[in-house]
Every structure is written in structure tokens, then in C-alpha cells.
Copies of this chain bind each other. A is one copy, B any other.
């Protein structure tokens, strides 16, 4: 099947005249065929109305139908696997191995939500049987389930052209919940988005679902993206990207006549706390692990460790990390623009009083592959310089030396919301680690011990979220099976005739859902 260089609205290719874009190889600057045209607000309206038309039919599908649909999407992505990985490599500068893994993660996510649908716990069925004899008044028959919110706008992310883009986690969880999806494709990887969009479109057709279940639009973020979030048929938004863009979407969503939820995963510097007991003979390994996590994928992971707290009385880690970093080569960043932003961020740190440069790696000239960089400061400077908490997207990190546990705790209290926090501690520091745990809990969505935050598992227990500004809504996650809860809401049914009860709520429980009946959990 040819790569169709256009938006897809409800199964049909749609070209536009509001501009155009081509994929660009960030390592070479080479512009890639074909040219994708941009659509405008008219296409947003068409896609939104088509999604709305599809909504009631799609949400009435059974868990099994929806699970099979998600598996069909995974199948069609796998069918076109080589071409997708090749194209994503050309457009992103990311290595083929990483992208092959990311494709597996993407299909794995789709299958995780298929499994979730078959378990059915997310439907949160609760039944309180009638009590006609209750005094002073009889109790009605009351039943509760979750229904999908409505069409969801999903924004492709630059740093995960597969797992957080067209058929990524937001799309998979929204489709699983029963919501039609309209993807605003990321303009940094139009060909990848186009190929995956075609795979999804094929699955919609084969599953016999209404065509409006999926659309994908190419266009300017300020036009197509904003109009999408403002459109009355759109009922929720999934986004992964910069804080500026995420906050702009939050504002648009809040200013609508009917405000809607925005799930924006935005910025995090992922603090790492190193206790004295983690150092000593382990210092070299720890520093090597840190630099590997920092520079992996050119530091373009949401959970990249950009901030490390180390004891002030031990220079070993700083020195070892500096040496390891100096040996690290720059890697091509996703786009020339992202590379420029990285350089500006590094320049800002260079100019910051109280911050000194420790070391830098090797820039690969002419390939948008800037030098990884490491900076050093102390808790006093950190606390008094809020700008040091601004994420620099890429392989730059700041090491902050702390005097003692009290000084450390105080620095941690000054942190903004984060996706992750990592603790490195041996048994001797168990007490100190225990003391900072409640502080970290208040700040982050995931706490790890003696590891590195990059490498996000996709399972029931993962939280990829956290307090603002890490995300726009700390009550959820954008990775893992819990993510389906973002796109549904509870509805209660009182004394509904048995013939009219939705399957999920019928006494016979035809879908075999776990339920809470008269206060008792039943699997």
C-alpha cells in the first residue's frame, strides 16, 4: 500500500491548502518525499462531526469487539513494521533498534488495553439491589457503570513517533474506553504518522466500525490543534510535549463554553537523590549508569534524569560522572529546532550564577548532535534560582551538592511536580531514605530505588504522571492500564426496566465483569 500523503478524515484521504510539510532527516537535513498538505478548520469540523456520528455506535460495542479492534490495529502495524521503523528512523534520527522496540511497545500497549477490556474492571460496575421493605422509605434499584466521554483529540509527540503518537498510548486508551479519536499528527514525522494512520484506518474498516472512529489531521498546531481542542464535539484531550504547548491547550479547553479535561504530559527534570551509602566502591558504576540514562536517545525521554543530588563531602561521583560524560558522543536530536532549544538551555545554565560546568561530551558537527553537558551547583543556589527547575530537553543535567539530610529535604521540598524521583541508597541510609519518601510522594508520580527512571514499563502498576507542571492532571497516568480511566465517567441507572439495562449492568452479567453488588466485591 502506498503512503498517502494526506490527512485521513473518517476513512478518506483529504488534501488541504493551508500549507505543507515534509519529513526532514535531522542527521542530514535531507527533505523526504512525499509532501504532506495541511488542512484547516473546515477539516477539523468534518473530522469532529464524523467522530460524533460514530460515537454512539462505537461506544455500544462489546468489550470483545473493542479488544479485537485494538488487536487488529496492532496486527496492521506489525504487517507494515519494516517500513514504519525505517521511515521513523529517517524522520527522527532515532536508531532502528530503539524504534523496533518502540513499535513493539506500541503494539504491546494496544494489546494491554485489549486485555483490560476483557478483564472489565474499568467498567466499575456497582449494583445496589432494591430494598422495597426498607424503612422509612424503600430503596430503589440502583446500578452504576462507566461510559466513554466522547471524541478525544490526541496530539502526536515528537519524541515517541510510535508509542506516544498516532496509535500510541493516548489513542489506545481512548479507543479502549469507547471514544473515537482524532489525531493531530506531529509535523516532525509526517511519514510515520501517515503509515500508522493507514494501519489504523484499515483496522477500522476490517472491524466493520463506523469510519468516524478514527481521523488524522496534518496542519499547523496553532490552527488545527487549537481548533480541535475548542470544537464542541471534542470531549477530552491527550497531549505529550512542551510545557508551553500543553498550557496553551489547557487554557483553550478551560475557556470553552463546556470546559473539557486535558491530559497533558509536559515537563519533568526527574530528580535523583544519591545517599552516601550508595557511593564508595560503587561510585564508578553509579556514574556510568547515570550517564547512560542521561544520554540515551540524546536525552529526549520524558523521564530523563536532569537533576542529581549528591553529598557535598564526596566529590567522587561528580568526577566519575564528568569523566563518563566526556567520553559520550552527541546523538542526533529529533529536529533542528529541538537541537537549537537544547543549546539555548545549556547556554542559560552556563550564564547562571552559582552554576559551574563540570564536563561536556563530543558534539557531532553538522548532524544536530550537540554535546551532552553536566553542571554543578549547591542547594542554596538551587533553592534561590527557580529557573534551574526548567527542563532542558536533551542530555543536560545539573548535579546539586547537599550538606546533610535536612539540607537535602529542604531542597526536595522546593521542587515542582515531577514524573519521577529516584533514590540511590544502601542499607545504612534506609532511615534517611524513609524520611524523604513522603516528600517525594507529594512531588511525583513514580518513585524508584537504585535504578534509573528511563525505561518505562507498560503494565497495571505504572504511573507516568505527576503533579503540575509534570502533567496537567495528577489524578491519572498516560502509560499503563490505568490510563483508560481518563476517558470515561460514571452514570447511574435507577429502576431501569431489565429489558433496557445495558449489558454491563444486567443481572446475568453477560460480559462476565467484576462487580460490587450490595457492597461486596465479586470477581
Contacts and interface: CB of A to CB of B under 8 A. Distances in A.
B521 A451 contact: no
B500 A475 contact: no
A463 interface: yes
B475 A492 contact: no
A494 B60 contact: no
A440 to B, nearest CB: 9
Interface string A467-505: 111001111110000100000111111111101100000
A461 B258 contact: no
A108 interface: no
Nearest to A448: B494
Interface in A420-455: 430, 433-434, 437-438, 441-442, 444-451, 455
A200 to B, nearest CB: 24
Interface stretch (A78-86, A134-142, A293-301): A134-142
Contact of A142 (B261, B457, B492, B521): B457
A521 B121 contact: yes
Contacts of A523: 521, 523
A462 B500 contact: no
A468 B128 CA distance: 27
A500 B438 CA distance: 11
Contact of A258 (B258, B463, B468): B468
Given A490-B445, A494-B451, A457 B119 contact: no
A272 to B, nearest CB: 13
A508 B416 CA distance: 34
Contact of A463 (B119, B144, B468): B144
The CB with the most chain B CB atoms within 10 A, among A149, A150, A489, is that of: A489
A60 B516 CA distance: 27
A75 interface: no
A66 to B, nearest CB: 17
Contacts of A244: none
A472 B101 CA distance: 40
Contacts of A128: 457, 459-461
B494 A447 contact: yes
Contacts of A442: 56, 150
Contacts of A416: 258
A388 interface: no
A463 B446 contact: no
Interface residues of A, number: 76
Nearest to A500: B434
Given A447-B493, A447-B496, A495-B448, A462 B519 contact: no
A138 to B, nearest CB: 10
Interface in A109-161: 115, 119, 121, 124, 126-128, 137, 139-140, 142-144, 147, 149-150
B438 A519 contact: no
A44 interface: no
Closest 4 CB pairs of A and B: A463-B492, A448-B494, A142-B461, A144-B461
24 contacts: A56-B438, A60-B438, A115-B519, A126-B460, A126-B461, A126-B482, A128-B459, A128-B461, A143-B461, A150-B442, A258-B417, A259-B468, A261-B473, A261-B475, A430-B500, A433-B497, A433-B500, A447-B491, A449-B496, A449-B500, A460-B519, A461-B492, A521-B523, A523-B523
Interface of A: 56, 60, 115, 119, 121, 124, 126-128, 137, 139-140, 142-144, 147, 149-150, 250-251, 254, 258-259, 261, 416-417, 430, 433-434, 437-438, 441-442, 444-451, 455, 457, 459-463, 465, 467-469, 472-477, 482, 488-497, 499-500, 514, 516, 519, 521, 523
